[in-house]
Amino acid sequence: MSKNLVIVESPAKAKTIEGYLGKDFTVKSSYGHVRDLVKSGMGINVKKNFEPVYEISPDKQHVINDLKKLSKKADIVWLATDEDREGEAISWHLLEALELDEKNTRRIVFHEITKKAILNAIDNPRKIDRNLVDAQQARRVLDRLVGFELSPVLWKKVRPSLSAGRVQSVAVRLIVDREREVTSFGITTYYRVTAVFSVNGKTFKTELSKKFTTREEAEKFLNDCIGANFSVRNLEVKPGKRSPAAPFTTSTLQQEASRKLGYSVAQTMVIAQKLYESGKITYMRTDSVNLSQDALANARQVVLSNYGERYSETRQYKTKQASAQEAHEAIRPTDFNTEVVDEDTRNQRLYDLIRKRALASQMSEAILEKTVITVASDKSALNFIGTGEVIKFDGFLRLYMEGTDEEGDETQEGLMPEVTIGEKLALVESVAMQRFTYPPARYTEASLVKKLEELGIGRPSTYAPTISTVQKRGYVVKEERMGREREYDVITLRDNQIKAEKKTETTGADKNKLFPTDIGMLVNDFLVANFKEILDFNFTAFVEKEFDDIANGDLKWQKMLAEFYVPFHKTVEHTTENSERVSGERILGKDPASGLTLLVRVGRFGPMAQIGTTDEIEKLGEGAKARYAKLRNNQRIENITLEEAIDLFKLPRNIGQYEGDDVVVSIGRFGPYVRFGSLFASLKKEDDPYTITYDRAVELIIDKKRANAERLIQSFEEDKEVQVLKGRWGPFINFHGRNLRIPKDKDGTTITLAEINEIAANTPDTGKKSWGGKKGGFKQKAAAPVKKSAGKKKVTEEEPPLKKAASAKKTAVKKKAVKTKKAVKK
């Protein structure tokens, strides 16, 4: 056994480091965090100064056991987890869980996994920084307090199984606020006039200095241009420069990878982690733009070698944020000479981006020349402006150009011809085009990260988890939405003739944008109304600053928690006692067919439309029921119209018969489907349940039957509801809707019905059903309706495909299984 045990977080990191250390070192992985707050209860003793109660994660117990054995045999244990607060906390938890002696324990940190960095860390060990540990502990405890106390309020006042988080809720608020900005935006129209002029055989584009609000004004201006004389009123040539962007921080890498590579925030971090652990880039969770002296020298050598002296300019960037954590470096390659690092295209593309950005930051500025030509008319006081930009020296642009999130940019820039003031110009063409104002752009993952960073909310280690969490919880969806067509006017003046025409364009299309769901908006509104401080952007940023103060040793973490928790807990108690239950209910009007109220709200299974209120149904007497319909994916409670809601009740649609059974189209808990007898076939993404044809529905039924038939291994004439099927993990038995395992000593192709009956009798019935029965089709699992409470009759919400016979059938199956079990015993 070697005298030194080095512990890191991941096996990949361990493998890389082990290659740099000699036989006296054994490198092992903790596989991430080894301890966390206990899952049963809050896990925090509030009365004992917020004392956290930790437990070793069940899946890490064997890891701890193995590391304990190795640590007892080692002379020195080196804790080499990441250098940020999360890494420091992991080292501390290892120290506690392994019961290490601090005298024989060393803490080492490095921001790149290279031999030089690792050996340097070994030569310069330190003790665990308790301030960093406390900062991480404060974040973890605070987030548990918020989630543990806030979530039950949501269960009681909004809907069961909801959850809330401190940073996640603020992120949802940003998305909800932006969505409302977009939907409430009043689009206005205007007319933008452009012109193309020629001089000395060359043409250039210009734009009128004024935009017209009406078509009549634009048309009148073009008429005034007929026969007009145009000349150069002013000429301005200005030198300019463009400087390279700083090397990547975590947030700028996430933004640029999204813009240029189309990577999600989570995908970017997974790939960056692999590149770091394999020793190709520096640590990927950083808000610093600093580069080490070694890195600057390495970058200069590569620039000089590839581009020459003129392209080299060594510069050091300063981090703008005062809250930047620790003395990290920016994200950069560990060796700028390395161009190819991975056969995986996705990994290589991200590495290229990191390398080019960091290398470009050490290259010369681009030298530009900007030309502005002002064109005057003898028939109008308005001027045309032409702008052009010429790159005199490309500098860093030879290697890299930063992306942008700007949408709807219609500026005209191009190469300008050489002209003199007073020179006559010929009008080639002038066009007045109707344009429209743009609402604010919805957030992408990358632009949301940028906004969170601007507001001081979260840190490099929290951006990706925050965005993933709000999507997993169903508060936000990332999707593509089709736009709609609209007409616009185009009025063209050419050869002294004016021609007007209508054209069409697609507007409102969004790709990979973040949209709030109805439940996300409802939860957000409830939290904003009742927990203003938690949802306040400035307060959340202030909490982040307090974490920084704890990390710097300027604030005690228990004091910070006490100041937060006391007023927060009072607000929780007040809200639980005094706030009303919310459903986002919105009354749209009366259903023309029944005369009952038609409303929309969030129900047990999501947003839905409802015909008939509780009072109206009670007045109608026994047998009367409210009707329900699920909202479509692109519909929202806030803006759905009465007419759109009425259309929802066209389902279920009976579109004909096939092989003697009705073909019914509807929407269930798991989406739109076609039902044929007891067979359920899901509609494809391109199918619309409101317009799907009979032929298309039959095609889906045939495909489903074929898929089911291919799964069939055995069926039995004596009992049609027993089959042996192919499953994802091998053959299994479907016994009256129950899925049963086939014993290892039995063969699915030869097992008998009697043997199956015995297996069923000896297998507990969990009550889960998934098989449709006689037609041999898997059906969607339908959840039970909301139970009526005793006393006053309540309107219950039922799932559209729910069968009333399901309960009776379930009882019959249970009775049959009991009889079979008794028969087997006899």
Which residues are tagged catalytic? 283
Q: Give helix 85-97 / helix 130-157 axis angle, nearest 10°.
A: 100
Give the chain's length: 826
Which residue, among 624, 553, 636, 630, has the nearest Cα to 595 in the 3D structure? Answer: 624
What are 552-558's contacts with CB under 8 Å, separation 24+?
Answer: 552/131, 553/131, 556/134, 557/50, 557/134, 557/135, 557/137, 557/138, 557/141, 558/49, 558/50
How far is residue 464's CA from residue 594's CA, in Å, rounded to a whole number? Answer: 49
The backbone torsions φ and ψ at residue 348, rounded to the nearest 5 degrees and listed phi first, read: -65, -40
Instruction: Report residue 315 as tokens.
Output: 């510069």
151, 164 in Cβ contact below 8 A?
A: yes
How far is residue 276's CA from residue 114's CA, in Å, rounded to a whole number? Answer: 10
How far is residue 85's CA from residue 135's CA, in Å, rounded to a whole number? Answer: 7
Cα separations in angstroms, 216 against 154, 223, 378, 437: 55, 10, 21, 19
Using CA of residue 722, residue 724, residue 726, residue 732, what is the dihedral sign? positive
How many of the other CB atoms lie within 10 Å of CB of 146? 22
The backbone torsions φ and ψ at residue 551, rounded to the nearest 5 degrees and listed phi first, read: -60, -30
How far is residue 605's CA from residue 622's CA, in Å, rounded to a whole number? Answer: 26
Instruction: Report residue 775 as tokens.
Output: 């037609």
490, 503 in Cβ contact below 8 A?
A: yes
Q: Give helix 537-551 / helix 445-455 axis angle, nearest 10°.
A: 70
Cα separations in angstroms, 338 against 112, 352, 355, 551, 628: 15, 10, 9, 36, 62
CA 425 to chain centre: 53
The backbone torsions φ and ψ at residue 488, rounded to the nearest 5 degrees and listed phi first, read: -145, 155
Q: Which residues of 446-473 are buried (b: 16+ CB within 10 A; e: fewer)?
A: bbbbbbbbeebbbbbbbbbbbbbbbbeb
How far is residue 436's CA from residue 442's CA, in Å, rounded to a whole number? Answer: 17
How far is residue 573's CA from residue 563's CA, in Å, rounded to a whole number? Answer: 17
Instruction: Report residue 193 as tokens.
Output: 């006039």
DSSP conformation letters of 36-86: EE-SSS-SEEGGGTSEE-EEE-GGGHHHHHHHHHHHHH-SEEEE---SSHH
